Amino acid sequence: MLIRPLRRLLTRSTAVSHFHTFPPCLSSRRILQNFKLADIGEGITECEVIKWNVKELDIIQSFDPLCEVQSDKASVEITSPFDGVVKEILVKEGEVAKVGQGLCVIEVDEELLDSGSAEQTEPASSAVPAPSPIISNSKFVEDDASRTEQIREEPFAPRRLHPMDPNYLSPSTPNVNPENVLAKPSVRHYARQSKVDLALLLSGSGRDGRIERKDIDAFLSHQASSVLLDSGSAAQRAQAEQDVIVELGRTRYGMWKAMTQSLEIPHFGYSTSLDLTSLHSLLPTLNSHIPEHFNPSKSSSLPINPSALHPAPSPPPVPESAQFTRLTYLPILLKTLAKAMMAWPVLRSSITPGSANGGSKPTLTIRPHADIAIALSTTTGLYTPVIPHADTHSIYSLSSQLKHLSFLGRQVPCALTTNEMPKRGATVTVSNVGAIGDGEYAHPVLVPGGGVAIVAIGRARWVWDVSKSDRGERRLKIGVSWSADHRVLEGAELAAFVESWRAYVEAPERLIGEGI
Amino acid sequence: MLSARRLYTTASSASSVITPTHSIYLSTSTNPYFNLSFEDWLFRHAPQKEPLLLLYRDAPCVVIGRNQNPWKEVNFRAARAQSIPWVRRRSGGGTVYHDLGNTNFSIHVPRTTFDRGATAQVVLRAVRALGIDADVNERNDICVGGEKASGSAYKIASGRAYHHGTMLITTRLETLGDLLRVGKDTMITKGVASVRSPVCNLAQFSERVSHDTFVNAVVDSFKAEYGVYDEPCIVNDTDDLARIGYIQRGMAELPSWDWAFGQTPEFEYTIKKSFVWGDVTAHIHARHGVILSCTLQGLDSELGKALEGKRYGFVEDEELGVDMSGREEVVWAWLKEEMSSYD
């Protein structure tokens, strides 16, 4: 089966490329954009224009129907790549246009072109160029671990890049294109003034990775300080060459002690990968229905007010640190894990403190609910706050708690208290290492009080799966690595438990039947 | 035996637009206006990333391509005589004849992964699975032994593309020949002309093949190709679904003059006839179904001028407002007959 080449980059007329060198005045200038017939693939070199949906001097918006062309057996609808005014129609109905030939001239606002392309482009932080902005190549199980300043992600519902857009890229062209960097025109202007190449910043602290003025300032001061280091005194350089002794901070020393004690726990490991494809197709729906108290920015636009007669029951308001706009896989994995834990009492058990002392037979205490701890890596250290009774929470509620916990963890000094980290801890710990690195296997470590098992969740990635059909199919898989306390759990028990978990993850519709 | 469910659609949260949720649809309606409008609704509203298959049959009708000239493609007299309607579809390509012995398939995919060869292969594999030694020609039509059993056309819009086509199973080929034979060689059109080829029915090559076995084979082939496990959803024009505004509007648009005739590209038609007093040559220039000019040689008359701006093939005698004397009357009768749409 031949894979047809994808559309080539639409070339921009030279009139537009000059905007980089315009004098720094921000008054909007109008530019005439020559809209050319793009390569529509299939080896077609020319098309007949059948119909124009606009006429000269019409105002059009991006994605408005522009014209219809015909090539042998195919009828193609072309939509406008810009907002603007149709200045001139170059190829009339009934005439033939060659690929690359101008179809019409559209007058565009220069600033609109800039911000328009900023909004229509993929954030440059996605390292893999997407053939279509809708198809994602990798998704991340997101944990708001503060270690990562810039969370690598694709915007959940990306504004689609118009295939005719000059910034639309096919995989054959390299992704590093300074025009792909998101920044408002005023920020670009500031960058030009400061002689900073935006391509070097790649992404910034603004929404969706937009570069803000402060990112440019930070970049400049970073450059300045690295320059300073280079020109440091000989003494400083000499000092940098010697061994340095560093004391362990409180949290790191706490980790040291806990890990030393963990040596008394016999660990065994078990790894597998879960198929997230069903969850992947659920995620858009779940995201578009995040309850208002978790996501107040998304206001419902119902013309009829459900509370007109009587106030609809509204849940208690939620602090801003617990609000979220985007659901990821982690809360869903936690929910399904909690469900499996309810079916497996041994995963809700912990060694009764003090019961193993003095040679007496140890006992296990089984909790009625699933307490799950989350490994949180912050600038101040590694913590494991607990989500108590995870089975009683909805997926949205779990997402909210995760957000809140990571907010607290990110504070300096750490705002996590015994409220979030009770002495009795949890019975299962979850470590979302996939947010940090694209590892394939992990061997997490259990600490005393950390429960009977710990699971490290990797990074979701699309793979070609030939296990279910001869032809194979594309599935989204995520690796999970378990370590468990062999004093409490048998290998077969853990394996069977993980299969219970998988049965929820890979068939999430079961949650509907069980009333979640 | 195909198992199927009643139609199930969802209303998306953003608006109250109903969207299709299945991957495979079978229409039991034989109304070409419904089938084409339903196909268009699926095209515009189905999830962009998901492949979709639609299969349907039409009661006898002639279907011309988006940018074709019906006067050139359809034998109106023969169609009128057999009460067979003709329809202009939304995809490009040439003219085909549909009847219940012909099954239509329509495969919708995201625009960026659209590959005519691949979609043609899906159908080819289905035909082969029925035990017929078929092939695909260079125009992506499925043929058996050098004769076409299927014709294809495509439509591409932002985000989505479809490949649809016919499959002759037990079609009345002689009717097909009659209706598509026009012979107006002196009509020069700017649009797409049909590429004529000898045709054959699949039933000539296998006893197993029928609408149902073909449909099952295409569904299986589609499922295998795209990894779809849905069961087909059965639809009819009497379902609630048919009341969706978009589909209703489509069904009203297709037979309207503006769409059926008004989308005709520019054409010129030169005809000549010998009358008792001499020869008359008429040169008619029309665009979008409207006469731009009509020059008459061999007759000194205001008739040509009077025809300007009138709808080609729909001019009533009264509209002309020209004093019809002997010769003009005869010439007009001849022109009227030549332009006739028999509608």
- The percent of residues above 70 in pLDDT, for chain B, comes to 93
Between A127 and A187, the more confident residue is A187
pLDDT on residue A236: 57
Residue B31 scores a pLDDT above 80: yes
A51-58 contact pairs (CB < 8 A, 24+): A51/A93, A51/B263, A52/A89, A52/A92, A52/A93, A54/A80, A54/A86, A55/A86, A55/A89, A56/A86, A56/A87, A56/A88, A56/A89, A57/A85, A57/A86, A57/A87, A58/A85, A58/A86
Ranked by mean pLDDT, which of A94-98, A127-131, A163-167 comes out on top? Answer: A94-98
Nearest to B142 by CA among B165, B162, B115: B165
Nearest to B233 by CA among B14, B83, B23: B23
Mean pLDDT for the stretch of residues B2-28: 62
Reduced to 3 states (helix: H, G, I; strand: E, B; else coil), residue B174 is helix
Are residues A160 and B159, on separate chains, in Cβ contact within 8 Å? yes
Residue A117 scores a pLDDT above 70: no
Are residues B111 and A163, on separate chains, in Cβ contact within 8 Å? yes
pLDDT on residue A171: 39
Between A4 and B18, the more confident residue is B18
pLDDT on residue B123: 96
Between A74 and B205, the more confident residue is B205
Which residues of chain B have a CB within 8 Å of the CB of A132?
110-112
What confidence tier does A167 reach under pLDDT thresholds 50, 70, 90? low
Please state whether B217 falls in left (phi above 0), alpha (psi between -120 and 50) or beta: alpha
> Residue A317, exposed/middle/buried by CB under 10 A (0-12, 13-18, 19+)?
exposed
Are residues B190 and A94, on separate chains, in Cβ contact within 8 Å? yes
Which residues of chain B have a CB within 8 Å of the CB of A2?
115, 117
- The percent of residues above 90 in pLDDT, for chain A, comes to 24
Are residues A76 and B117, on separate chains, in Cβ contact within 8 Å? no
Which residues of chain B have a CB within 8 Å of the CB of A77?
155-158
Question: What's phi and psi for B313, nearest 5 deg?
Answer: 85, 0
Q: What angle do CA A401, A262, A430 make, to 5 degrees?
A: 25
Q: Is B238 touching A (CB cutoff 8 A)?
A: no
Q: Cα-atom radius of gyration of chain B, to the nearest Å?
A: 23
Least confident of A97-111, A328-342, B121-135: A97-111
Which residues of chain B have a CB within 8 Å of the CB of A131?
112
Which of B112, B117, B152 lies nearest to residue A132, judging by beta carbons?
Answer: B112
pLDDT on residue A10: 44
pLDDT on residue A3: 45
Which of B110, B115, B152 lies nearest to residue A4, judging by beta carbons?
Answer: B115
This prediction has a pTM of 0.52
Six-digit token pair at B36? 């084409």
Residue A179 scores a pLDDT above 90: no
Which of A6, A48, A73 lies nearest to residue B112, judging by beta carbons?
Answer: A6
Task: List residues bridging with A109 in a β-sheet.
Answer: A30
Mean pLDDT for the stretch of residues A88-117: 78
Distance from CA of A449 to the nearest CA of B (A): 45
Which residues of chain A have a CB within 8 Å of the CB of B192?
48, 70, 72
Least confident of A41-55, A228-242, B134-148, B225-239: A228-242
Are residues A75 and B152, on separate chains, in Cβ contact within 8 Å? no
| Per-residue pLDDT tens digits for A275-314 | 999 999 999 999 888 888 888 776 666 677 777 788 888 7
Mean pLDDT of chain B: 88
| Per-residue pLDDT tens digits for B67-105 | 899 999 999 988 999 999 999 999 888 899 999 999 999
Q: Is B112 touching A (CB cutoff 8 A)?
A: yes
Task: List residues bridging with A479 in a β-sheet.
Answer: A273
pLDDT on residue A451: 86
Mean pLDDT for the stretch of residues A238-248: 77
pLDDT on residue A156: 38
- The residue count of chain B comes to 343
Which residues of chain A have a CB within 8 Å of the CB of B118?
1
- ipTM value for the complex: 0.80
Nearest to B36 by CA among B5, B64, B16: B64
Are residues B153 and A75, on separate chains, in Cβ contact within 8 Å? yes
Residue A5 scores a pLDDT above 70: no
Chain B, nearest residue to A472 by Cα: B227
Question: What's phi and psi for A100, nearest 5 deg?
Answer: 95, -15
- The percent of residues above 90 in pLDDT, for chain B, comes to 59
List Cα–Cα distances, A481 to A91, A273, B18, in angstroms. Answer: 61, 8, 42
Question: What's phi and psi for A453, nearest 5 deg?
Answer: -155, 155
Chain B, nearest residue to A63 by Cα: B158
What confidence tier does A81 reach under pLDDT thresholds 50, 70, 90? confident
What confidence tier does A166 reach under pLDDT thresholds 50, 70, 90? low
Residue A123 scores a pLDDT above 60: no
Between A463 and A10, the more confident residue is A463
Mean pLDDT for the stretch of residues B167-191: 85
Taking the C-alpha atoms of residue A172 and residue A131, their distance in angstroms, rounded to an integer, is 9
pLDDT on residue A323: 86
Report how far Cα B107 is from the mean position of its chain's Cα atoms.
Answer: 16
DSSP secondary structure letter of residue A183: B
Scan residues 47-66 of B and list those with Cβ closer than 8 Å to A: 48-49, 65-66
Nearest to B255 by CA among B51, B85, B29: B85
pLDDT on residue A442: 81
Mean pLDDT for the stretch of residues B45-55: 93
Residue B257 scores a pLDDT above 90: yes
Q: Cα-atom radius of gyration of chain A, to the nearest Å?
A: 28
Which of B152, B158, B224 lies nearest to residue A73, judging by beta carbons?
Answer: B152
pLDDT on residue B283: 94
Q: Are A44 and B124 in contact (CB under 8 A)?
A: no
Residue A17 scores a pLDDT above 60: no
Residue A139 scores a pLDDT above 50: no
Q: How many alpha carbons lie under 13 Å from residue A296 in its C-beta half-sphere?
A: 11
Report how far Cα A202 is from the mean position of its chain's Cα atoms.
Answer: 16
DSSP string, A433-453: GGGT---S-------TTS-SE
Between A43 and A421, the more confident residue is A421
Pairing mode of beta strands A453-457, A473-485: antiparallel
Are residues A73 and B139, on separate chains, in Cβ contact within 8 Å? yes
In single-letter form, the type of residue at position B260 comes to A
Q: How many alpha carbons lie under 13 Å from residue A249 in its C-beta half-sphere?
A: 7
What confidence tier does A162 reach under pLDDT thresholds 50, 70, 90? low
DSSP secondary structure letter of residue A296: T
Taking the C-alpha atoms of residue B66 and residue B56, their distance in angstroms, rounded to an integer, is 19
Which residues of chain B have a CB within 8 Å of the CB of A471?
224-225, 227
Mean pLDDT for the stretch of residues A42-62: 85
Q: Is B194 touching A (CB cutoff 8 A)?
A: no
Are residues A163 and B158, on separate chains, in Cβ contact within 8 Å? yes
Nearest to B226 by CA among B48, B23, B27, B55: B23
Residue for token pair 């006839």:
B273
Taking the C-alpha atoms of residue B215 and residue B102, their distance in angstroms, rounded to an integer, is 11
Are residues B49 and A135, on separate chains, in Cβ contact within 8 Å? yes
Distance from CA of B170 to the nearest CA of A (A): 25
| Per-residue pLDDT tens digits for B214-237 | 999 999 999 999 988 889 999 998
Which of A50, A75, A79 lies nearest to residue B158, judging by beta carbons?
Answer: A79
Between B200 and A20, the more confident residue is B200
What confidence tier does B14 reach under pLDDT thresholds 50, 70, 90? very low
Chain B, nearest residue to A96 by Cα: B190
Least confident of A16-30, A261-275, A342-356, A390-404: A16-30
- The percent of residues above 70 in pLDDT, for chain A, comes to 71
Residue for token pair 């954030």:
A123
Chain A, nearest residue to B155 by Cα: A75
Taking the C-alpha atoms of residue B74 and residue A506, their distance in angstroms, rounded to an integer, is 54
Mean pLDDT of chain A: 75
Which of A73, A94, A160 lies nearest to residue B154, judging by beta carbons?
Answer: A73
- Packing angle, helices A491-505 and A329-343, rounded to 10: 130
pLDDT on residue B12: 39
Are residues B48 and A134, on separate chains, in Cβ contact within 8 Å? yes
Question: What's phi and psi for B119, nearest 5 deg?
Answer: -70, -35
pLDDT on residue A238: 56
Mean pLDDT for the stretch of residues A357-364: 76
Q: Are A83 and A106 in contact (CB under 8 A)?
A: no
pLDDT on residue A141: 34
pLDDT on residue B118: 92
